[in-house]
Amino acid sequence: MQVSLDINGASVALDLDARTTLLDALRNHAGLTGSKKGCDHGQCGACTVMVNGRRINSCLTLAVMHEDDEITTVEGLAEGNTLSPLQRAFISHDGFQCGYCTPGQLCSATAMLDEAAKGWPSNVTADLENATPLTDEEISERMSGNICRCSCYPGIVEAIREAADAPAQKTGAEA
């Protein structure tokens, strides 16, 4: 069936079987291979993208369910050639080795920082009434759905911390 998706700000018309996952639609039909297939059942996080700003495992949702949604993939995180502060921090803190989980880590962390800024609690948040600081423990818990077999977790947490602490107006290097 015909589906029109808004991906990274561009409208993309696709002809899909109704059972096509969003991940397969992105990778196999929209030519956006940045989102990765790690386990294909929502356990590894490599396929994480943002839908209307919220992170989602794109392997667990059907493309046809997202006709009017804004979908952001790793390819859409930079503004033009300017990497986001989080992308830059992943480079400077070696937040990857093989890089296969990185697109999912970045989409997940981008949305996670927004969740934290809005005061959403996590499983380790002690105080549900008042804003809790984004400690390393909070970051680790909130990122536990994105696994990294190279175990670059120290670099990933440092990168997220730097982006969380960075002033928003900081401008960046060219991609």
Partner 1 sequence: MSVGKALPHDSGPLHVSGQARYVDDIPAPAGALHLAFGLSHVARGRITKMDLDAVRAAPGVVMVLTAADLPRPVDVAPGAHDEPLLSDKAVHFIGQPLFLVVAESHLEARKAARLGRVEIAEEPPILTIEQALEADSRFEDGPRVWTKGDASGAIMGAPHRLQGRIEMGGQEHFYLEGQAALASPQEDGGMHVASSTQHPTEIQHKVADALGLPMAAVRVETRRLGGGFGGKESQGNALAVSCAIAAHLTGRSCRMRYDRDDDMIVTGKRHDFRIDWEVGFDGEGRIEGLDVTQYARCGWSQDLSLAVADRAMLHADNAYLLPSARITSHRLKTNMQSATAFRGFGGPQGVLGIEAALDRIARHLGLDPVEVRRRNYYAPMTEGEQGHPHLEVAPGETWQEAPEDSDLASRGSGEDLPREPVAPATRNATPYGMEVTDFVLHGMTDRLLETSDYAARRAEITEWNAGSPVLKRGIAFSPVKFGISFTLTHLNQAGALVHVYQDGSIHLNHGGTEMGQGLFRKVSQVAAEVFGVDPARVRITATDTQKVPNTSATAASSGSDLNGMAAKAACEAIRGRMAEALASLHQCEARAVRFAEDHVEVGGDRISFARAAQIAYEARVSLSATGFYKVPDLSWDRIKGQGRPFFYFAHGAAVTEVAIDTLTGENRILRCDILHDAGRSLNPALDIGQIEGGYVQGAGWLTTEELVWDERGALKTHAPSTYKIPACSDRPRDFRVALWDQPNPAASIYRSKAVGEPPFMLGISAFLALSDACAACGPAEPALDAPATPERVLAAVRRARG
List residues near partner 1 by CB under 8 A.
27, 31-41, 43-44, 46, 73-75, 77-78, 83, 87-88, 90-92, 94, 96-103, 106, 137, 139-141, 143-144, 146-157, 175
Full DSSP string of 2-52? EEEEEETTEEEEEE--TT-BHHHIIIIIS----S--SSSSSSS-TTEEEET
Query: 36 vs 66, which CB is nearer to partner 1?
Result: 36
Question: Minimal distance in Å, beta carbon 20 to partner 1?
Answer: 9
Question: 155 and 99 in contact (C-beta within 8 Å)?
Answer: no
Query: 3 vs 49, which CB is nearer to partner 1?
Result: 49
Query: 38 vs 69, which CB is nearer to partner 1?
Result: 38
Question: Minimal distance in Å, beta carbon 137 to partner 1?
Answer: 8
Strand order in the sheet with 2-7: 10-15, 2-7, 70-72, 48-51, 54-57
Four-residue CA torsion sign, 109, 110, 115, 117: positive
Query: 3 vs 89, which CB is nearer to partner 1?
Result: 89
Question: Minimal distance in Å, beta carbon 47 to partner 1?
Answer: 11
Question: Minimal distance in Å, beta carbon 53 to partner 1?
Answer: 18
Query: 4 vs 135, which CB is nearer to partner 1?
Result: 135
* 84/87 Cα distance (integer angstroms): 5
* 130/163 Cα distance (integer angstroms): 22
Question: Minimal distance in Å, beta carbon 60 to partner 1?
Answer: 12
Question: 66 and 5 in contact (C-beta within 8 Å)?
Answer: yes
